[in-house]
């Protein structure tokens, strides 16, 4: 048995490393167990988000969009460049450099905060103990509090088992050294759309097979419809109601068989990305004798405070209920650290923003119009298209709209849905207003800088009250 800790965090992703940093800031003796070995063969902090998720995908989304702009859009600005080409290995190398800088940054933060990084893979034992299997064998550690934050793994499907660099999950699709001529993406969710966009921009012919009949059912459907139209225009061939039955890797590529409303279909492609969701990573985490309660969806059962059924054992991030989003996990990490330190902390699950980093970006917070209808809540809505925004026009990037939803009686902001350039940055404004329980009138009375994209948010609030200034208003 080694030394005693106040807090041991299991998992060094955005939920776990943030929980460790906040715990250490609050004066708690903290360690974090992380087993990740990066593609250079070195131990790394940062989890999926930094190593093979949010950050590398954004790096490639940025590079591929710049390539597309240079090839197709610069001439609209009067900039003529001949022979634009994409050097894919260099893009991947540049992405890897960013990942290494950021994961190294977390290591630096751990040192600065006096957090011990225990390298290895942890299993939860009874009585707030964990066993870590590392290079030097197995060691048991004990802590007053254990925070479980082991994240999630890609779901694999029997009809398309992963195979080398031919049939890959999201991690594999971040490391291809060449552009597949023909690519099939299974799943039109967040990952499928983001990675499908990367490779489409770099030149692949992309077919996206989605099992559900509805496109982006989690998003507001007016926004989803606009997104679908725009992705189609970009050349993403999205086929809905398409269930993959089997895949066969041949010398010529991959044959995918699927069924849709008109029967059995077959396509031949060079490579496949499987992006059908993620599931909590609990396989090695807990031994039966530890007695940790897992719910029917395979999630670690927690209450509103992220407490598991075991005293002193907490769970956060993708392991527990709620959206699988890095920022949700991080805020749970802060909240749990503060609760352990005896502070009061509240996390508003009703105001967690979602973003899909396609172009245009799709961002939202709060309720969709469909949810409000289902709840029978009376609401008003205001929509403002970026086509009427001077800044968006000047950027030659005026696709999309802002849609605001507010309570009909109290005017409280209930939801905001934005499809448009940089909407991931704009949505923070709506989150803040919701956190303050603000109204659409509060937004309407706020002065926004001109010319900015955020003026579209202002105008959407004015539109909800039939007084938008830069579009004709619908009749009351
Ligand atoms: P997802 O749940 O967003 O989408 C998966 C899609 O695959 C669904 O639409 C589902 O209907 C479809 N599907 C499932 N089985 C299928 C099958 N056999 N054939 C065809 N389609 C099938 O999951 P994801 O895109 O894999 O992302 C996983 C998680 O990671 C999500 O919770 C997501 O929010 C999170 N994530 C977030 C971001 C971001 O915030 N930008 C980026 C990446 C991932």
For 45-114, give the DSSP string: -SHHHHHHSHHHHHHHHHHHHHHHIIIIIGGGGT---SS----HHHHHHHHHHHHHHHHHHHHHHHHHTT
Residue 160 lies inside a defined structural domain of this protein: no
- Taking each helix axis from N to C end, the angle separating 54-68 and 88-112, rounded to the nearest 10 degrees, works out to 140
The whole-angstrom separation of Cα 129 and Cα 474 is: 63
Q: How far is the CA of 196 from the centre of ligand 1 (A)?
A: 12
Considering the domain architecture, whether residues 307 and 429 belong to the same structural domain is answered as: no
Considering the domain architecture, whether residues 11 and 78 belong to the same structural domain is answered as: yes
Residue 470 lies inside a defined structural domain of this protein: no
C-alpha atoms less than 13 angstroms from C-alpha of 208 in its C-beta half-sphere? 29
Active site residue 327: no
Considering the domain architecture, whether residues 176 and 222 belong to the same structural domain is answered as: yes
Q: How far is the CA of 173 from the centre of ligand 1 (A)?
A: 15
335 lines ligand 1 (CB under 6 A): no
pLDDT at residue 388 above 90? Answer: yes
320 lines ligand 1 (CB under 6 A): no
The whole-angstrom separation of Cα 251 and Cα 241 is: 29
Q: How far is the CA of 318 from the centre of ligand 1 (A)?
A: 13
Residues contacting residue 25 through CB under 8 Å, at least 6 positions apart: 113, 337
Which pLDDT score, from 0 to 100, does residue 289 have? Answer: 87
Range of the domain at 20: 4-154+279-347
pLDDT at residue 174 above 60? Answer: yes
352 lines ligand 1 (CB under 6 A): no
Residue 310 lies inside a defined structural domain of this protein: yes
pLDDT at residue 348 above 90? Answer: yes
357 lines ligand 1 (CB under 6 A): yes
- pLDDT per residue as tens digits for the range 62-118: 999 999 999 999 999 999 999 999 999 999 999 999 999 999 999 999 999 999 999
Mutate to test the pocket of ligand 1, among 151, 209, 276 (most ligand atoms within 8 A of CB): 276
- DSSP H helices in 396-473: 423-435, 440-444, 455-464
Mutate to test the pocket of ligand 1, among 189, 215, 330 (most ligand atoms within 8 A of CB): 189
Residue 43's CB is within 10 A of a number of other CB atoms, namely 17
Which one has a higher pLDDT value, 184 or 476? 184
Considering the domain architecture, whether residues 373 and 421 belong to the same structural domain is answered as: yes
Tokens of residue 189, six digits: 């969710």
Q: What is the mean pLDDT of residues 189-208?
A: 98
Considering the domain architecture, whether residues 95 and 211 belong to the same structural domain is answered as: no
Distance (Å) of CA 93 to CA 107, 200, 422 = 21, 20, 25
Q: What kind and span of H or E run contains 198?
A: helix 190-201
Which pLDDT score, from 0 to 100, does residue 284 have? Answer: 84
Which pLDDT score, from 0 to 100, does residue 287 have? Answer: 82
276 lines ligand 1 (CB under 6 A): yes
Q: Whose CA is closest to atom 3 on ligand 1?
A: 189
The ligand 1 atom at the shortest distance from the C-alpha of residue 193 is 25
Q: How far is the CA of 422 from the centre of ligand 1 (A)?
A: 22
Which pLDDT score, from 0 to 100, does residue 229 have? Answer: 98
End-to-end CA distance of the chain: 72
pLDDT at residue 288 above 90? Answer: no
Residues contacting residue 135 through CB under 8 Å, at least 6 positions apart: 119, 120
**What SS3 state is found at 440?**
helix
The whole-angstrom separation of Cα 462 and Cα 133 is: 59
Q: What kind and span of H or E run contains 141?
A: strand 137-148
Tokens of residue 447, six digits: 């002065």
Q: How confident is the model at residue 2 (pLDDT cuts 50, 70, 90)?
A: low
The whole-angstrom separation of Cα 188 and Cα 192 is: 5
Considering the domain architecture, whether residues 295 and 223 belong to the same structural domain is answered as: no
Residue 162 lies inside a defined structural domain of this protein: no
Q: How confident is the model at residue 171 (pLDDT cuts 50, 70, 90)?
A: very high
Q: How confident is the model at residue 43 (pLDDT cuts 50, 70, 90)?
A: very high
Q: What is the mean pLDDT of residues 114-135?
A: 96
The whole-angstrom separation of Cα 247 and Cα 230 is: 29
The whole-angstrom separation of Cα 55 and Cα 96 is: 10
The whole-angstrom separation of Cα 193 and Cα 201 is: 12
212 lines ligand 1 (CB under 6 A): yes
- pLDDT per residue as tens digits for the range 408-451: 999 999 999 999 999 999 999 999 999 999 999 999 999 999 99
Considering the domain architecture, whether residues 45 and 65 belong to the same structural domain is answered as: yes
Which pLDDT score, from 0 to 100, does residue 395 have? Answer: 97
Which pLDDT score, from 0 to 100, does residue 158 have? Answer: 98
Answer with the one of 325, 347, 369 that is the final residue of a domain. Answer: 347
Strands 30-34 and 116-119 come out as parallel
Q: Whose CA is closest to atom 12 on ligand 1?
A: 187
Q: Which of 346, 450, 458, 470 is catalytic?
A: 450
pLDDT at residue 357 above 80? Answer: yes
Contact 448, 454 (CB under 8 A): yes
Residue 19 lies inside a defined structural domain of this protein: yes
Considering the domain architecture, whether residues 364 and 284 belong to the same structural domain is answered as: no
The whole-angstrom separation of Cα 91 and Cα 239 is: 29
The whole-angstrom separation of Cα 284 and Cα 330 is: 22
274 lines ligand 1 (CB under 6 A): no
277 lines ligand 1 (CB under 6 A): yes
Contact 471, 388 (CB under 8 A): yes
Residue 94 lies inside a defined structural domain of this protein: yes
The ligand 1 atom at the shortest distance from the C-alpha of residue 275 is 26
Residue with tokens 């023909």: 182
Considering the domain architecture, whether residues 356 and 333 belong to the same structural domain is answered as: no
Q: What is the mean pLDDT of residues 342-346?
A: 93
191 lines ligand 1 (CB under 6 A): yes
Considering the domain architecture, whether residues 298 and 192 belong to the same structural domain is answered as: no
Q: Percent of the chain at pLDDT above 90?
A: 97
Considering the domain architecture, whether residues 234 and 317 belong to the same structural domain is answered as: no
Which pLDDT score, from 0 to 100, does residue 293 have? Answer: 96
Q: Percent of the chain at pLDDT above 70?
A: 99
190 lines ligand 1 (CB under 6 A): yes
pLDDT at residue 21 above 90? Answer: yes
Buried b (16+ CB within 10 A) or exposed e, 74-95: eeeeeeeeeeeebebeebbeeb
C-alpha atoms less than 13 angstroms from C-alpha of 380 in its C-beta half-sphere? 19
Tokens of residue 186, six digits: 């299974």
Considering the domain architecture, whether residues 115 and 176 belong to the same structural domain is answered as: no
Q: What is the mean pLDDT of residues 301-315?
A: 98
The whole-angstrom separation of Cα 216 and Cα 169 is: 20
Answer with the one of 217, 241, 273 that is the final residue of a domain. Answer: 273
Residue 476 lies inside a defined structural domain of this protein: no
Q: Whose CA is closest to atom 28 on ligand 1?
A: 277
CATH number, position 243 = 3.50.50.60
Round the average pLDDT of the chain to a whole number and report it: 97
> Structural domain tally of the chain?
3
Q: How far is the CA of 104 from the centre of ligand 1 (A)?
A: 29
Residue 135's CB is within 10 A of a number of other CB atoms, namely 7
Q: What is the mean pLDDT of residues 122-144?
A: 96
CATH number, position 399 = 3.30.390.30
The ligand 1 atom at the shortest distance from the C-alpha of residue 324 is 32
Answer with the one of 347, 371, 386 that is the final residue of a domain. Answer: 347
Q: How far is the CA of 429 from the centre of ligand 1 (A)?
A: 26
The ligand 1 atom at the shortest distance from the C-alpha of residue 192 is 25
pLDDT at residue 1 above 60? Answer: no
Q: What is the mean pLDDT of residues 249-267?
A: 96
Q: What is the mean pLDDT of residues 214-218?
A: 98
Q: How far is the CA of 363 from the centre of ligand 1 (A)?
A: 16
């Amino acid at each position: 048995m080694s030394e005693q800790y106040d807090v041991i965090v299991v998992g060094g992703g955005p939920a776990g490393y943030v929980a460790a940093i906040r715990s250490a800031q609050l004066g708690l003796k903290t360690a974090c167990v992380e087993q990740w070995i990066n593609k250079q063969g070195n131990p790394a902090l940062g989890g999926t988000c930094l190593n093979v998720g949010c950050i590398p995908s954004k790096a490639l989304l940025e590079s591929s969009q710049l390539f597309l702009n240079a090839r197709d859009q610069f001439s609209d600005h009067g900039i003529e460049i001949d022979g634009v080409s994409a050097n894919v290995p260099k893009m991947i190398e540049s992405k890897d450099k960013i990942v290494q800088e950021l994961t190294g940054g977390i290591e630096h933060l751990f040192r600065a905060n006096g957090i011990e990084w225990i390298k290895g893979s942890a299993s939860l034992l009874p009585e707030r103990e964990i066993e870590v299997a590392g290079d030097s064998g197995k060691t048991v550690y004990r802590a007053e509090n254990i925070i479980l934050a082991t994240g999630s793994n890609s779901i694999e499907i029997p009809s398309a088992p992963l195979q080398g660099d031919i049939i890959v999950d999201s991690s594999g699709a971040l490391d291809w050294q060449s552009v597949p001529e023909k690519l099939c993406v299974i799943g039109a969710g967040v990952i499928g759309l983001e990675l499908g966009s990367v490779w489409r921009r770099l030149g692949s012919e992309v077919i996206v097979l989605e099992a559900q009949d509805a496109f982006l059912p989690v998003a507001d459907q007016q926004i989803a419809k606009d997104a679908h139209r725009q992705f189609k225009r970009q050349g993403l061939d999205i086929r809905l109601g398409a269930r993959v039955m089997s895949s066969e890797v041949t010398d010529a590529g991959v044959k995918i068989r699927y069924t849709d409303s008109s029967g059995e279909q077959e396509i031949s492609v060079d490579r496949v990305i499987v992006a059908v969701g993620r599931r909590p990573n609990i396989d090695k985490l807990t031994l039966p004798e530890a007695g940790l309660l897992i719910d029917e969806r395979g999630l670690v059962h927690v209450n509103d405070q992220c407490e598991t059924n075991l005293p002193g054992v907490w769970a956060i991030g993708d392991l527990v209920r709620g959206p699988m989003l890095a920022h949700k996990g991080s805020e749970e990490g802060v909240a749990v650290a503060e609760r352990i330190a005896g502070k009061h902390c509240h996390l508003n699950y009703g105001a967690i923003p979602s973003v899909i980093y396609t172009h245009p970006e799709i961002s939202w917070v709060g309720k969709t119009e469909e949810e409000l209808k289902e709840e029978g809540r009376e609401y008003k809505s205001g929509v403002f298209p970026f086509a009427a925004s001077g800044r968006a026009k000047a950027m030659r990037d005026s696709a999309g709209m802002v849609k605001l939803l507010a309570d009909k009686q109290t005017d409280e902001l209930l939801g905001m849905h934005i499809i448009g350039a940089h909407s991931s940055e704009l949505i923070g404004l709506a989150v803040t207003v919701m956190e303050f329980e603000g109204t659409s009138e509060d937004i309407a009375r706020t002065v926004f800088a001109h010319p900015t994209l955020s003026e579209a948010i202002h105008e959407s609030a004015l539109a909800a009250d039939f007084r938008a200034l830069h579009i004709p208003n619908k009749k009351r």
